Structure 1
Amino acid sequence: MLHTIKVKRFKKSPRDHDVSGTFRKYIHKLQQRLPDHIPVVYKLSFLITGLVLFCMSSLSGVLVYNQALLLRNQINDIGKTVTSHLARSAREPLMADDRLTLEVLTTSLIAGQNVIGTGIISPEGEIMIEAGISPFEYPQATSGFSFAEITRKDPDEQYWRWQLSNQTQSSGVISFISPIHFKGVVAGYALVTFSQTAMELTRRNALHSIIVAAIGIILIGILIAFIISRRISRPVTHFMDAIRSINEGYYDFRFKDRRKDEIGQLMEAFNHMAEGMIQKTHVEKALNRYLSPQVASQVISNIESVKLGGQHINASVLFADIVGFTKISETMEPEELATILNRYFSLIAHACRLNSGTVDKYMGDCVMLLFGAPQHDEDHSFHAAQCALLIQRLVHHENKLRGEQGLIPIHFRIGLNAGNMLAGNMGSTDRMEYTVVGDSVNLASRLCSVAEADQIIVSKEFYGRTDIQQRIIAHEHKSISLRGVEDSVTTYLLHSVSANFTKKFNAQFLTVTDNS
């Protein structure tokens, strides 16, 4: 038959709950006071110090215990030897009832510092001769046993310890008994009582010496632990400084230590990594010179997924080229021509950046700008129109400066359009570039080709956008027929931004001219 055993659950008393709650609050306060960051050097110091403290405490405890055990065994051996010697010396005087000799024997023993009492006891337990202190005069010395029980023990165990107390102090003593044999008969017992004060003093002195030595070793261990911890944690501190430098963009940090261990290998690996970061930075800077920052960032962030193809987007595209470039190039040296192109293209690129645009490519004397790609821009049409007007003003300002120097002016014509287009990586798997294609792009290029010097031409559809009419001032230009386009295209000429945007436009102009 199976029996069900009911277990009685004991409920915690309110006092137990209060104690546990108080303890948890104390631990929580202690955790709040602890710093969030504890350096490795302190952790290693605490660990090594704890190990030294544990080892020295254990060693000190073992030494103290062994010292006390050794002293106890020594006094036991001495007590047994002295008591046995007294028993042998008292044998003949006891049988001859020579009390004077027995008194001399017992009295002579207590002349020593450790022997405080002697005596001769009859087989029945009566004290025959005594000198000094006798345990049988103190009830606490023999409480719990009788004389007969002591004498029946093994000869090696016929001793006991007790406390000798007076009005001022209490000291430990030990009494030994040894039988006096005469021709196989126990004629009596020899009693010797020793003071353990000297042993206790020796034990305390030994304990004091061991504690002082242990404290000294622990202090030295703490110092050595801190030094070792500093040496071990120094590379960690250097690594923290190195990581901080890398995070701040300073890639020139190098470990100069040469260590033949794992830390040395880690330092060497870090130096290689920092060198790789510098090379990566140089590659990024070089890439930004050949590509727009937006395209370069997109390529670097998706380096493994770069492939041919694109996606349909709504964006704006701007074309600007130099009027009469062929004639100008015939009258200039290549170096001078390159200087002119670089100067004007730098102004155009700066204006493009201020209006969230991207330089798609340079094609001889022509530059192609994108707005709304590769980064999405809800206001790409206005940014493109404002950029075109800023380019127009910058070119006029630059030509004024050239005129003051007696140089010929350079005139640009600009075509601008917005609409749906395909944006992505075009070309081949061996060589590709980010660009846009589509009818809207082609129309912008055709508008640029029919524009005259210093004109900005847009289509009617572009200027008809609500976000353009309210912020850009323009007037209808003319209807033109474009190659590849069946219907004629009504065009508009952009003049300026509206009054609400003049302040921002002027600020952009000053930004470019001040930095150029």
Structure 2
Amino acid sequence: MASPLLRLRRHLTAYRPAHLPVAHKLGLSISLLIIGCVTLLGLVIINQQSRLLHEQMDGFGQAMVEQLAATSRELVLADDSLALNALIINLAGSPRVMGAAVYHRDGHPLARSGLVPETLDQPVAPPHHPQVSGYAGDIRFQDVRLGSAVVTLSQVEQYTAVRHAVTAIALSTLIISLLAGIAAFLMGKHLSRPIDQLMLATRAIGAGDYRYRLETRRRDEIGQLMTAFNRMARGLEEKSQVEGALSRYVSVGVARKIMNNLDQLELGGHQVEASVLFADIAGFTSLSEQLPPDQVARLLNEYFSYVSRIAHCYRGTIDKFLGDGVMVVFGVTEEDPDHRFHAIACGVMLQRLVSRLNRIRVAAGQLPVRFRVGVNSGLMLAGNMGADDRMQYTVVGDTVNLAARLMGSGDPGQIIIPAALMEDTELARALHTRPHGYLSLRGKEAPVNTCVVEDVSEPHRPLMERHIHALITGESPS
């Protein structure tokens, strides 16, 4: 069970704002500092004034007692009770004097009036009267103690003066604090304005707006920071432009790797477990002979655009275009544990899309277009291949060569894969295949057992259909 302190901390954390602007922090800090200083100064002034009033009251009380002792000395010696009572009554009627008394040395009162103790055994200041203070002094004659004189004084004026001082200082503190708070927040807003501008600029850069620039008119450290930010934004803009241009010739993943490792571009590669898809247009030579060159170029660009978007749906990367064919890799530029299924599903989606487009083309009186697809998975070498002055990021190896051979051995509309891939039970459940038999392929000593992929299983088909519909209609997949 959580402790009360921990529950309180959680409660406060729940209500703590997620973001507190620097202007508010700065204004609050300055305000608290000013309020603290003014409050401390007020407390010092109140304490000083209270102490001064106490000293004045004590001085006045002692003077009154000494005067009463001197005046009543002869009356006590003469045992003149009438004159002594008259003196006490007259003194007790003075302003600020609450009471006066003269006591015999044995403690009993000779004359008393007002708020005074009945005997000297009791406290000089009357109990339950916090605003009354008492003062006592001896009545002596030639070093003989005749008795004591007592005077009680009212502290109402003193308390009133202190209360007025506290009220005045409290009002002054409130007014100064209010003005200081407004000034502090305005100052904090002014000082934090460059930080707010930097925050907006950072968000713009984070959102991809590399053209965002700051106006640098300051000549202090913040101005230098703004200048450095503008240089950084300019560098990011140039890098983005280069990467955008580069990604038109190579995949986005490859372009990003190249841009992130400009100082480490060298020939060589590393072994990866990945998948590769080859697809080409069957009978392209005959088709191109029946069409003008510009229509052939438009047809290739149209279908290659479809292939690129289909590959993107399944995390594939266009490695290269090969005349009327294309090579797509999966799990090379970014890690993909499902690269086998994604490569084959990409081929299925391509064939299903082409079948839909052919119905449209035939209805429009155009020639149909058919693709052959070959897919393979396994170890391959990925990296920069070529020469020092001309290199290309690609994949090579027997796995890649077999995929190209499988494509070349297939019929239009078919997707050929090695039967060995179906040993993966999860992959087998995700696909509908049929045996295609053993094929003797160039570069392979033994025949390769193959399968034809007819479709993906039901759980994957609805999403594929939505993507195909979106590609044909130009809508976003729901």
Normalised-by-shorter TM-score class:
0.5 to 0.7
What's 2:432 paired with?
471
Report whether the alignment pairs 1:162 with 2:124: yes
| Structure 2 residue matching 1:34: 3-state secondary structure | helix
Task: Quote how far apart the aligned CAs of 1:309 are.
Answer: 1.7
Task: Quote how far apart the aligned CAs of 1:345 are.
Answer: 0.7
How many Å separate the matches in 1 of 2:390 and 2:217? 44
**Could you give the per-residue CA deviations for residues 142-199 of structure 1, whole angstroms, max 9, x where no partner exists?**
66xxxxxxxxxxxxxxxxx922479x9983232456878xxxx7899998754420xx
Report whether the alignment pairs 1:320 with 2:280: yes
Supply the AA of the counterpart residue of 1:174.
Y
Which of 443, 453, 462 matches 2:418?
Answer: 462
Task: Quote how far apart the aligned CAs of 1:204 are.
Answer: 0.7
What's 1:370 paired with?
329
Question: Structure 2 vs 1, CA of residues 174 and 264 (structure 1 numbering), >3 Å: closer, same or farther?
Answer: farther
How many Å separate the matches in 1 of 2:293 and 2:37? 90
Higher radius of gyration, 1 or 2: 1
Question: Structure 2 vs 1, CA of residues 119 and 514 (structure 1 numbering), >3 Å: closer, same or farther?
Answer: closer
TM-score by length of 2: 0.65
Question: Structure 2 vs 1, CA of residues 130 and 203 (structure 1 numbering), >3 Å: closer, same or farther?
Answer: same
Match runs of 1:37-436 below 5 Å: 38-39=16-17, 40=20, 55=37, 58-78=40-60, 112-114=94-96, 117=100, 138-139=118-119, 141=120, 162-164=124-126, 171-176=132-137, 194-197=151-154, 200-220=155-175, 223=178, 227=182, 228=184, 232=188, 235=192, 249=207, 285-296=244-255, 308-311=268-271, 313=273, 315-320=275-280, 323-324=284-285, 328=289, 331-333=292-294, 338-375=297-334, 384=343, 387-388=346-347, 390-392=349-351, 394-395=353-354, 397-398=356-357, 401=360, 420-428=379-387, 432-436=391-395
Quick check: 2:372–2:413 contact (8 Å CA) kept in 1? yes
Question: Structure 2 vs 1, CA of residues 395 and 171 (structure 1 numbering), >3 Å: closer, same or farther?
Answer: closer
Quick check: 1:60–1:210 contact (8 Å CA) kept in 2? no
Unaligned residue ranges in structure 2 (runs of 5+): none
Question: Structure 2 vs 1, CA of residues 239 and 224 (structure 1 numbering), >3 Å: closer, same or farther?
Answer: farther
| Structure 1 residue matching 2:418: 3-state secondary structure | helix
Question: Structure 2 vs 1, CA of residues 134 and 223 (structure 1 numbering), >3 Å: closer, same or farther?
Answer: closer
Task: Quote how far apart the aligned CAs of 1:368 are.
Answer: 1.7
Question: Structure 2 vs 1, CA of residues 30 and 290 (structure 1 numbering), >3 Å: closer, same or farther?
Answer: same
**Could you give the per-residue CA deviations for residues 344-390 of structure 1, whole angstroms, max 9, x where no partner exists?**
21122233334543211124443222245345667756654554454
What's 1:31 paired with?
9
| Structure 2 residue matching 1:290: 3-state secondary structure | coil
Task: Quote how far apart the aligned CAs of 1:68 are.
Answer: 3.7
How many Å separate the matches in 1 of 2:91 and 2:330? 117
Task: Quote how far apart the aligned CAs of 1:323 are.
Answer: 2.0
Task: Quote how far apart the aligned CAs of 1:267 are.
Answer: 7.0
Task: Quote how far apart the aligned CAs of 1:276 are.
Answer: 6.4
**Could you give the per-residue CA deviations for residues 402-449 of structure 1, whole angstroms, max 9, x where no partner exists?**
566666666655555555532223235665432112344345546666
How many Å separate the matches in 2 of 1:35 and 1:81? 62
Question: Structure 2 vs 1, CA of residues 247 and 293 (structure 1 numbering), >3 Å: closer, same or farther?
Answer: same
Question: Structure 2 vs 1, CA of residues 303 and 179 (structure 1 numbering), >3 Å: closer, same or farther?
Answer: farther
Task: Quote how far apart the aligned CAs of 1:324 are.
Answer: 2.0
What's 1:3 paired with?
none
How many Å separate the matches in 1 of 2:410 and 2:187? 74
What's 1:147 paired with?
none
Quick check: 1:320–1:415 contact (8 Å CA) kept in 2? no
Quick check: 1:83–1:178 contact (8 Å CA) kept in 2? no
Question: Structure 2 vs 1, CA of residues 488 and 329 (structure 1 numbering), >3 Å: closer, same or farther?
Answer: farther
Match runs of 1:472-487 below 5 Å: 472-473=433-434, 482=442, 485=443
- Identity rate, percent: 27
Task: Quote how far apart the aligned CAs of 1:49 are.
Answer: 7.1
TM-score by length of 1: 0.61
| Structure 2 residue matching 1:163: 3-state secondary structure | coil
After alignment, is 236-245 or 418-427 more displaced?
A: 236-245
How many Å separate the matches in 1 of 2:115 and 2:344? 123
Supply the AA of the counterpart residue of 1:66.
Q
| Structure 1 residue matching 2:125: 3-state secondary structure | strand
Quick check: 1:164–1:170 contact (8 Å CA) kept in 2? no
After alignment, is 286-295 or 188-197 more displaced?
A: 188-197
- Paired residues, number: 457
RMSD: 6.0
Question: Structure 2 vs 1, CA of residues 95 and 251 (structure 1 numbering), >3 Å: closer, same or farther?
Answer: same
Question: Structure 2 vs 1, CA of residues 142 and 56 (structure 1 numbering), >3 Å: closer, same or farther?
Answer: farther
| Structure 1 residue matching 2:95: 3-state secondary structure | coil
